[in-house]
């Protein structure tokens, strides 16, 4: 359903309909644990906001100027048109919808069940499982620096943590892979705990998801 | 099960991690493996599970035979069911998000009949006394609970050989005792690598002592204990510290402090503590009793919800996880972070913790014991008025522990020192006072 809503947001062409989908997904995200949802909400809103601000300056569409600025080398004259603003809002809302859909997936879904699914879903589930660890690692790095009297401030200070974070997540991924191999992952003839029976509401959810995608493509 | 003349070198490793190792493991035998950090204990455990050489690569000579399977020809996944491993850090080996599914994971890989999987998972959890956790998300479990879940995951496979790599390093004394008691009663072959030998010696049938990748001793437990007493006495006890510090000026005071994470149940409630320059205070207590939180409050890393924290001067704190001290590309640069990049000072601090010669190495290339000491150097170099150490002996062998105790005692007059530890021997060897969360015991 989350994937269907994200796909509908990408396919829909009206600002209000994409906005509505993004709002709905944001409300779903708000059901996630307060301590963890902040990271996803801020990240999504910041990315969407940045896209909205930058898009009018790199696009050149429309003939109804709202603002005309100076001429900048390479970019030419900076101007913002009504059509560019609409396009920026549409793209920013699409990005927000996809971001919130991913956040809801990471915060609220049972990833264990995806492990019994197709291979790419298993990989995605394992990658998602590492995200909370990444959050804790980032907090741990900041704490270890504070414990030595070093304050981590500003974008530059936090950006310096990216490389160690990447290294620690790779190291963690290796440890997890080793533990999985030791526990027989990849062996032929894997079975699984009996799945819950397929119910009428599962069929309804699939039908609704397909309808949402079709509606997004044709009418929204 | 047999290891014959095994010599193994990791890819890019200069010298072999294991040299000409030959051992036999009988059915139902409990073998303790001791040795200094980097002596090859973990590598031996990985060789017995087939992860060496299949997962790690490297140069492998000799033969490891597990129940008739040559590990060079059989992948570790194929040995699952015959061999099961519990690694040092349970959090690193947890794959799924709920306890029942986590324990079921290995059974699924093994191809167990679907209707048998959950009953076997439940039985394994019951065996380790953790059936009450069956519906819990793993993210809510304590270190001790995670360790039990990891053991249950291994036991559910009904292995003939159980490999345990420092399984009690994160457990408080009572939890470690009950964990080892449980393991000793399983009746299957067990190889347990440990840095805290006392409890394991009581239960082991045989002891291996490794040094520089070689087996120095392979003997019955009683005989090995005598050998340790003669040749490696630190492994049988660090001795007790009899000096009681002369109180000097107060450096830190916590008065009726309370703290809770995310407006939940208070982790610390009405705690008072006073630390004076020149004294070393150990803070003990069971897992989850709030020791680390008190330490962070003292160091100023957390602010109390209620009560007063007073700190005169500067504070530095060593966190439990040495992986937090891998921010730079070189060991000396990592240590220098705390002293505005002064590499000279950083190198002296590395030398003080026995790490002279590793200055140019990447922190992530160091062994776990070396990482612990790098982290320690990173906070010692700051020269704080209050030094807070959270589990500084985790993964550290007794020889290094004795050196650390001596270092802290030598420098005790310069500062007040608060040590959070489960390690009773280390606390006895270094501290003037031991505070067990809730009651205070003075060591004299």
Task: Tell me the pLDDT tens digit for each residue of B380-418.
Answer: 999 999 999 998 988 788 888 888 999 999 999 999 999
Residues of A in contact with B379 (CB under 8 A): 147-148
Residues of A in contact with B364 (CB under 8 A): 167, 171
* Residue among B355, B356, B398 nearest B375 (CA): B355
**Chain A nearest-CA residue for B157:** A183
ipTM here: 0.83
Note whether B153 contacts A183, CB cutoff 8 Å: yes
Using the predicted structure, report yes or no on whether residue A172 has a pLDDT greater than 50: yes
Mean pLDDT of B157-180: 87
Q: Which residues of B276-291 are buried (b: 16+ CB within 10 A; e: fewer)?
A: bbbbbbbbbbbbebbb
Note whether B80 contacts A147, CB cutoff 8 Å: no
pLDDT of residue B242: 66
Domains and CATH numbers, chain B: 2-236 (3.40.50.300), 250-442 (3.40.50.300)
Note whether A193 contacts B93, CB cutoff 8 Å: no
Q: What is the mean pLDDT of chain B?
A: 89
pLDDT of residue B443: 39
Please report which helix (H) or strand (E) contains residue B3, including its range.
strand B2-9
Rounded CA gap, B349 and B379, in Å? 9
Rounded CA gap, B205 and B221, in Å? 6
For chain B positions 137-156, those within 8 Å of chain A (CB to CB) are: 139, 153
B364 part of contact set with chain A, CB < 8 Å:
yes
Residue A177, min C-alpha distance to chain B (Å): 9
Mean pLDDT of B433-443: 65
Cα-based distances in Å from B209 to B5, B7, B13, B259, B421: 16, 16, 22, 44, 25
Per-residue pLDDT tens digits for B357-386:
999 999 988 877 788 889 999 999 999 999
Residue B107, min C-alpha distance to chain A (Å): 8
Q: Which residues of A107-136 are buried (b: 16+ CB within 10 A; e: fewer)?
A: beeebbbbbbeeeeeeebbbebbebbbebe
pLDDT of residue B137: 83
Residues of B in contact with A34 (CB under 8 A): 262
A159 part of contact set with chain B, CB < 8 Å:
no
Rounded CA gap, B12 and B14, in Å? 6
Per-residue pLDDT tens digits for A3-31:
999 999 999 989 999 999 999 999 999 99
| Neighbour tally for B232: CB within 10 Å | 20
Per-residue pLDDT tens digits for B288-333:
788 999 999 999 999 999 999 999 999 999 998 888 999 999 999 9
Of A117-121, A174-178, B289-293, which gets the smallest average pLDDT? A117-121
B15 part of contact set with chain A, CB < 8 Å:
no
**Chain B nearest-CA residue for A163:** B327
pLDDT of residue B305: 92
Interface size A-B, in CB pairs within 8 Å, comes to 152
Mean pLDDT of A180-196: 87
* Residue among B87, B91, B119 nearest B104 (CA): B119
Mean pLDDT of B229-238: 86
| Test the B interface: residue of A168, A190, A191, A197 with most B CBs within 10 Å | A191
Token readout for B198 is 């006392």
pLDDT of residue A58: 80
pLDDT of residue B438: 59
Residues of B in contact with A176 (CB under 8 A): 92-93, 95
Note whether B77 contacts A176, CB cutoff 8 Å: no
pLDDT of residue B174: 82
A146 part of contact set with chain B, CB < 8 Å:
yes
Per-residue pLDDT tens digits for B169-218:
777 888 888 888 888 888 899 999 998 888 899 999 999 999 999 999 99
Please report which helix (H) or strand (E) contains residue B229, including its range.
helix B221-231
Mean pLDDT of A91-119: 83
Q: Percent of chain B, pLDDT > 90? A: 62
For chain A positions 89-108, those within 8 Å of chain B (CB to CB) are: none
Q: What is the mean pLDDT of chain A?
A: 86
Note whether A167 contacts B326, CB cutoff 8 Å: yes
Using the predicted structure, report yes or no on whether residue B442 has a pLDDT greater than 80: no
Q: Which residues pair with B309 in a beta bridge?
A: B254
β pairing state of B386-390 and B250-259: unpaired
């Amino acid at each position: 359903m989350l994937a269907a809503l994200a796909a509908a947001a990408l396919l829909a062409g009206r600002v209000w309909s994409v906005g509505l989908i993004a709002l709905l997904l944001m409300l779903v995200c708000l059901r996630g644990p307060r301590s963890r949802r902040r990271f996803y909400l801020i990240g999504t809103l910041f990315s969407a906001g940045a896209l909205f601000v930058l898009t009018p300056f790199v696009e050149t569409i429309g003939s109804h100027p709202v603002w005309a600025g100076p001429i900048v080398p390479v970019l030419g004259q900076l101007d913002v048109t009504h059509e560019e603003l609409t396009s920026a809002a549409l793209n920013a809302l699409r990005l927000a919808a996809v971001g919130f859909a991913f956040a809801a997936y990471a915060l609220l879904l049972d990833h264990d069940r995806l492990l019994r699914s197709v291979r790419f879903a298993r990989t995605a589930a394992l990658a998602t499982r590492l995200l909370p660890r990444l959050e804790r690692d980032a907090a741990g790095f900041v704490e270890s620096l504070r414990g030595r009297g070093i304050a981590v401030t500003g974008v530059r200070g936090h950006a310096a943590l990216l490389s160690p974070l990447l290294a620690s997540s790779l190291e963690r991924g290796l440890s997890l892979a080793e533990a999985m191999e030791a526990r027989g992952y990849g062996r032929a003839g894997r079975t699984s705990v009996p799945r819950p029976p397929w119910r009428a509401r599962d069929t309804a959810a699939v039908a609704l998801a397909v309808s949402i995608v079709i509606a997004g493509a044709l009418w929204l | 099960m047999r290891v014959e003349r095994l010599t193994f070198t990791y890819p890019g490793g200069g010298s072999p991690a294991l040299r000409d190792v030959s051992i036999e493991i009988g059915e139902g035998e409990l073998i303790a493996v001791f040795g200094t950090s980097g002596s090859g204990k973990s590598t031996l455990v990985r060789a017995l599970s087939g992860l060496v050489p299949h997962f790690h690569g490297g140069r492998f000579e000799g033969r490891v035979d597990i129940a008739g399977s040559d590990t060079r020809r059989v992948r570790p996944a194929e040995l699952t069911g015959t061999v099961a491993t519990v690694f040092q850090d349970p959090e690193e080996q947890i794959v799924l998000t709920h306890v029942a599914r986590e324990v079921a994971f290995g059974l699924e890989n093994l191809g167990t009949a679907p209707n048998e999987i959950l009953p076997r998972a439940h039985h394994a959890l019951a065996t380790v006394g953790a059936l009450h956790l069956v519906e819990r998300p793993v993210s809510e479990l304590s270190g001790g609970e995670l360790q039990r879940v990891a053991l249950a995951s291994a036991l559910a496979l009904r292995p003939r050989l159980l490999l345990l790599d420092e399984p009690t390093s994160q457990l408080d004394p009572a939890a470690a005792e009950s964990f080892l008691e449980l393991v000793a009663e399983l009746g299957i072959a067990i190889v347990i690598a440990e840095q805290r030998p006392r409890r394991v010696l009581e239960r082991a049938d045989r002891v291996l002592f490794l040094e520089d990748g070689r087996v120095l001793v392979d003997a019955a437990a009683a005989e090995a204990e005598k050998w340790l007493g003669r040749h490696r006495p630190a492994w049988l006890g660090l001795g007790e510290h009899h000096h009681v510090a002369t109180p000097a000026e107060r450096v830190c005071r916590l008065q009726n402090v309370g703290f809770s994470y995310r407006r939940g149940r208070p982790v610390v409630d009405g705690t008072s503590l006073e630390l004076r320059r020149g004294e070393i205070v150990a803070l003990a207590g069971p897992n989850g009793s709030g020791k680390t939180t008190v330490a962070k409050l003292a160091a100023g890393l957390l602010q109390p919800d209620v009560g007063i924290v007073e700190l005169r001067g500067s504070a530095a704190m060593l966190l439990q996880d040495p992986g937090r001290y891998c921010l730079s590309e070189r060991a000396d640069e990592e240590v220098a972070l705390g002293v505005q990049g002064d590499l000279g000072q950083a190198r002296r601090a590395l030398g003080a913790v026995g790490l002279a010669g590793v200055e140019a190495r990447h922190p992530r290339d160091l062994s776990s014991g070396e990482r612990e000491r790098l982290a320690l150097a990173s906070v010692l170099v700051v020269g704080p008025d209050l030094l807070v150490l959270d589990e500084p002996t985790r993964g550290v062998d007794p020889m290094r522990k004795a050196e650390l105790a001596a270092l802290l005692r030598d420098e005790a007059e310069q500062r007040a020192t608060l040590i959070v530890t489960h390690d009773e021997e280390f606390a006895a060897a270094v501290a003037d006072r031991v505070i067990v969360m809730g009651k205070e015991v003075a060591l004299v």
